[in-house]
Structure 1
Amino acid sequence: MLTGSDLLNRVKELGDISKTDLARGCGYVSTKKDGGERVNFTAFYEALLEAKGVSLSTGGSAGIGKGGRKLSYIATVQGNGNLLVGKAYTAMLNLNPGDEFEIKLGKKAIRLIPVGGSEEDESGEE
């Protein structure tokens, strides 16, 4: 599957052909279990947008969560007492499974400080 400038150049080379042939010609094809061919249009268009400088990655689309919904930046305590921070937020911060945080409690506030980091480093303030 072509990406970046290689993808843009190939699209120009192929010229005015069907969208299916265009995606296929750039390598966005997979084989189904039954041996048939599947053209991966979504991956093709996402790569094309990336090549043109439009980022669709979670980290690059601040404030946009799953399904393109705008993030509310509000968390609600669940019935069992847990407070959940969703995947969209952890992805924006490039957090990975296993990352550890120190919990700092204030007056009606909770701060999560990465283990080994400092409050100043993570807040963006100096």
Structure 2
Amino acid sequence: MLTGKDLLAKVKDLGDVSKSDLVKACGYVSTKKGGGERLNFTAFYEALLEAKGVNLASESAGGIGKGGRKLSYVATVQGNGNLLIGKAYTALLDLKPGDNFEIKMGRKGFRLVPEGDG
């Protein structure tokens, strides 16, 4: 898996290719139990952001939730139907009370898009 300057150079060299081809060419591929390939988009994008100098881990939260537990990045629907994200996650994203999001539905799930980002 390419990282840092090597990753940035490869992305620049590849130019206008599909996202899947880009992830694969940079080495962010693993093998499934059945032998098929799994493209690791999240790891790729995290490495790309880090290579560009963006630190995703907030110093205040650092990927650690209440009681020092590592964040699982899994949420469960509560008995009343609400989906709670949690304080540790909102701290990682530096979200404040009153921040608004648009819920965008897609083929594979939904995305929360900050209001005004389109």
Q: TM-score, normalised by structure 1?
A: 0.50
Q: CA deviation at 1:44?
A: 0.1
Larger Rg over CA atoms: 1
Q: CA deviation at 1:34?
A: 0.1
Q: Which residue of 2 aligns with 1:85?
A: 67
Q: Distance in 1 between matches of 2:62 and 2:4?
A: 25
Q: CA deviation at 1:62?
A: 1.8
Counterpart residue type for residue 85 of structure 1:
G
Aligned-partner SS, 1:35: coil
Q: Which residue of 1 aligns with 2:22?
A: 22
Q: Distance in 1 between matches of 2:43 and 2:55?
A: 13
Q: Which residue of 1 aligns with 2:96?
A: none
Q: Which residue of 2 aligns with 1:3?
A: 3
Q: Which residue of 2 aligns with 1:38?
A: 38
Counterpart residue type for residue 19 of structure 1:
K
Aligned-partner SS, 1:85: helix
Q: Which residue of 2 aligns with 1:62?
A: 59
Aligned identity (percent) is 67
Aligned-partner SS, 1:38: strand
* Richer in helix (by share): 1
Change (3 A) 1:65 1:4: closer
Q: TM-score, normalised by structure 2?
A: 0.53
1:90-105 equivalences in 2 (<5 Å): none
Change (3 A) 1:8 1:65: closer
Q: CA deviation at 1:31?
A: 0.7
Structure 1 unaligned regions, length at least 5: 72-83, 89-126
Question: What value does the CA root-mean-square deviation take over the aligned residues?
Answer: 2.2
Q: Report how many residues are paired.
A: 70
